[in-house]
Amino acid sequence: MGRHLIVSRMRSSAGYYSLLALIWLNPQAAPAEDITCPKGTTLHGETTPDVREAWCELRWHGKTVQHGPYRAWWLNGTLGTLGQYVYGKAEGKWRGWYQTGQLQGEEWFSEGNKVKSLYYDRKGHVVAEPERSE
């Protein structure tokens, strides 16, 4: 599964910057107000020592794919990543935040392909690449 978070500059298979590696041990623990899965999908998630994440999945053309909202939170509870999948491909505007809540970047996708990106340093200045989160 492609995870999208900004703890490093590693790129996921979908191409979005790694902001956190956030994962729920109990997907039902994901804040209901933050993620609502589309009809026919199920909520999933994981937790790592650094982050928690939640996403929706469904079976499509014989494989399990992400479909619907994707959210990742820093362990301090701050939202780290916000995005959307459509049948396994990142779609639309994805946003990532530093642990402080400051915007770290925005990426726009069409059918899983990044078409535009904009990143910010911790002072809010536009930069070419996202800063590493510590």
CB count, 10 Å around CB of 116?
Answer: 10
How do the pLDDT tens digits run along the chain, 134 residues long? Answer: 333 333 322 333 333 333 333 333 333 344 444 789 999 999 999 999 889 999 999 999 999 999 999 999 999 999 999 999 999 999 999 999 999 999 999 999 999 999 999 999 999 999 998 776 65
Alpha-carbon distances, residue 110 vs 6, 31, 53, 75, 114 (angstroms): 20, 27, 22, 30, 7
Is 123 in contact with 131 (CB distance < 8 Å)?
Answer: no
Distance CA 73, CA 82 (A): 9
CA 76 to CA 93: how far, in whole Å? Answer: 24
Looking at the DSSP bridge assignments, the partners of residue 120 are: 126
Give the position of tokens 């191409």. Answer: 15
Query: Could you tell me which residues come within 8 angstroms of residue 117 by beta carbon, excluding any fewer than 6 positions away?
Result: 105, 106, 107, 108
Amino acid letter at 31? Answer: P
